[in-house]
Amino acid sequence: MPRNADENAGNAYGRGQQTWDAELTEVGPGTPCGEFMRRYWHPIALSEKVGPVPQNIRILGEDLILFRDRKGRPGLLYPRCAHRGTTLYYGKVEDEGIRCCYHGWLFDVKGHCLDQPCEPEGGKHKDNVRQPWYPVDELYGLVWAYMGPPEKKPVLTRWDTLETVGPDEMIHVTGSSTGAGGDDTVEIVPTNWLNDWENIMDPFHVPILHTTFSTVQFVPEFGVMPTVKWEHASHGMRYIAYRELDDGRKMDRITQALFPHARIVPDIRMKEGPAAGVGWVVPVDDTHFRLFHARKVPKDFKPIIVRHYDNRSWSELNEEEHQRFPGDWEAQVGQGPISLHSEENLATSDLGVVQLRRLLRRQIEIVKEGGDPLGVCFDPEQAVVKVQAGNFFKK
């Protein structure tokens, strides 16, 4: 008998426990996905925003202090001082590191204790103390952190499109929610990172959410239902969405998702050619993420402000307008703090999401088994990833 033949089938009363797939979504220390994530470098801040004033930052469910010492080195330390545990948020940054406000212990960016002013001779035993620290690096105008086992620290991945910057070009970085449907008034998106990352393998929301449901958010051509092929590709997977446009043009739009959370989306105005940049969906904790982007742009580039309705930006919409003209923010945050995977009914158009989750689960297993997941690289000669995404028109 068909499942819905009973008139009362699907009644909300007495429905089962609703759950999410914790293995794929939770990122705290010691969790399966958290340990997988801790095998990669993550962008954590824009370099230009990291100065001598200590900042609280949250990443992979850990609260940390980020600062730049007066010699220019970024540092990422556990917040509670190794002496008696006040936060280094109130510390003072000096040439060599950060000095705790309470009794003045000074720590460098690798957690070495350099001075204990209340102790005899400035601390005869200070070498026994180490403030917990994480390695950081800088690339493309971003500060990156590695929060995993030291012996497994990979090289920092580079991207070919960002390696070749011409004399009239520059790399433009952002850390706002713009690419997740918000705008530059908000940095942190209140939903699980996987809601956004798997959206990259979901080409079928483009003709609906972005084109016919809420007005044309990008270009009208995206209203044409694509023929889609999903496939494994270097460091993750990609899809090729083929469209025959009303004006006779034919195009392939190739989008990539690369481990652990990189997303390469071609130009949303359908400009021809390879994608100019890379985005990263960095988990803040289990129920928040932050998006970073680095893009190669002309030096005279002016950031595009996406207009959602009535020529207004996302943060200028009132509540009813968010309902009537939703975009990625509304759809993804609308999936809840973590999407309830037990309640889903995945369909043909979700093949990319299914494949991506399967591939992600495999990488998590590989880490559990002591192996190295896809995209982790220890050879500086192999550190550059080739960008395949773009809008490609066919003759």
State how far the Cα of 98 lies from the Cα of 64, in Å rounded to an integer: 13
State how far the Cα of 188 lies from the Cα of 182, in Å rounded to an integer: 10
Contacts 24+ apart (CB under 8 A), 227-233: 228/203, 228/204, 228/351, 228/352, 230/201, 230/351, 230/352, 230/355, 232/355, 232/359, 233/388
User: Which of 220/380 has CB closer to Fe ion?
Assistant: 220
User: What is the smallest separation between the CB atom of 142 and Fe ion, expressed in angstroms?
Assistant: 23
Q: Does 105 bind ligand FES (CB under 6 A)?
A: yes
Give yes or no for a contact between 259 and 235, defined as CB atoms under 8 angstroms apart: yes
User: What is the smallest separation between the CB atom of 107 and ligand FES, expressed in angstroms?
Assistant: 9
What values do phi and psi take at 136, rounded to 5? -130, 160
Q: Does 89 bind ligand FES (CB under 6 A)?
A: no
User: What is the smallest separation between the CB atom of 92 and ligand FES, expressed in angstroms?
Assistant: 12
State how far the Cα of 129 lies from the Cα of 131, in Å rounded to an integer: 7
Please spell the DSSP secondary structure of 176-228, one letter per residue.
SSGGGT--TT--EESS-HHHHHHHTT-TTHHHIIIIIISS-SS-GGGGSPPEE
Query: Which option in Fe ion, ligand FES, none does residue 158 bind, with CB closer than 5 to 8 A by kind?
Result: none
User: What is the smallest separation between the CB atom of 326 and Fe ion, expressed in angstroms?
Assistant: 11
Residues 315-354 that bind Fe ion (CB under 5 A): 328
**Site for Fe ion (CB under 5 A): how many residues?**
1
User: What is the smallest separation between the CB atom of 101 and ligand FES, expressed in angstroms?
Assistant: 7
Residues contacting 372, CB < 8 A, separation 6+: 39, 152, 154, 366, 378
Closest CB to Fe ion belongs to which residue?
328
DSSP class of residue 337? S
SS3 assignment, position 361: helix
What values do phi and psi take at 341, rounded to 5? -65, -25
Residue 96 token pair? 């060599």
User: What is the smallest separation between the CB atom of 306 and Fe ion, expressed in angstroms?
Assistant: 11
Distance, first Cα to last Cα, the chain: 51
Q: Does 218 bind ligand FES (CB under 6 A)?
A: no
Of the listed pieces 16-24, 35-43, 69-77, 97-105, which binds ligand FES according to CB under 6 A? 97-105
User: Which of 104/141 has CB closer to ligand FES?
Assistant: 104
Check whether the bond before 260 is cis (ω within 30° of 0).
yes
The 255-294 contact track toward Fe ion, x by CB under 5 A, reads ----------------------------------------
Query: Which option in Fe ion, ligand FES, none does residue 328 bind, with CB closer than 5 to 8 A by kind?
Result: Fe ion
Please identify which residue in 103, 110, 158, 341 interacts with ligand FES, judged by CB under 6 A: 103
Residues 48-87 that bind ligand FES (CB under 6 A): 81, 83-86
User: Which of 79/226 has CB closer to ligand FES?
Assistant: 79
State how far the Cα of 272 lies from the Cα of 245, in Å rounded to an integer: 14
Query: Which option in Fe ion, ligand FES, none does residue 102 bind, with CB closer than 5 to 8 A by kind?
Result: ligand FES
SS3 assignment, position 130: strand
The 322-361 contact track toward ligand FES, x by CB under 6 A, reads ----------------------------------------
CA distances, 301 to each of 137, 164, 171, 281, 307 (Å): 27, 17, 10, 24, 18
Give yes or no for a contact between 20 and 337, defined as CB atoms under 8 angstroms apart: no
State how far the Cα of 391 lies from the Cα of 224, in Å rounded to an integer: 15
User: Which of 41/105 has CB closer to ligand FES?
Assistant: 105
User: What is the smallest separation between the CB atom of 62 and ligand FES, expressed in angstroms?
Assistant: 19
**Site for ligand FES (CB under 6 A): how many residues?**
10
User: What is the smallest separation between the CB atom of 327 and Fe ion, expressed in angstroms?
Assistant: 7
Please identify which residue in 100, 171, 278, 291 interacts with ligand FES, judged by CB under 6 A: 100
User: What is the smallest separation between the CB atom of 40 and Fe ion, expressed in angstroms?
Assistant: 24
Query: Could you list the residues that contact ligand FES (CB under 6 A)?
Result: 81, 83-86, 100, 102-105
Query: Could you list the residues that contact Fe ion (CB under 5 A)?
Result: 328
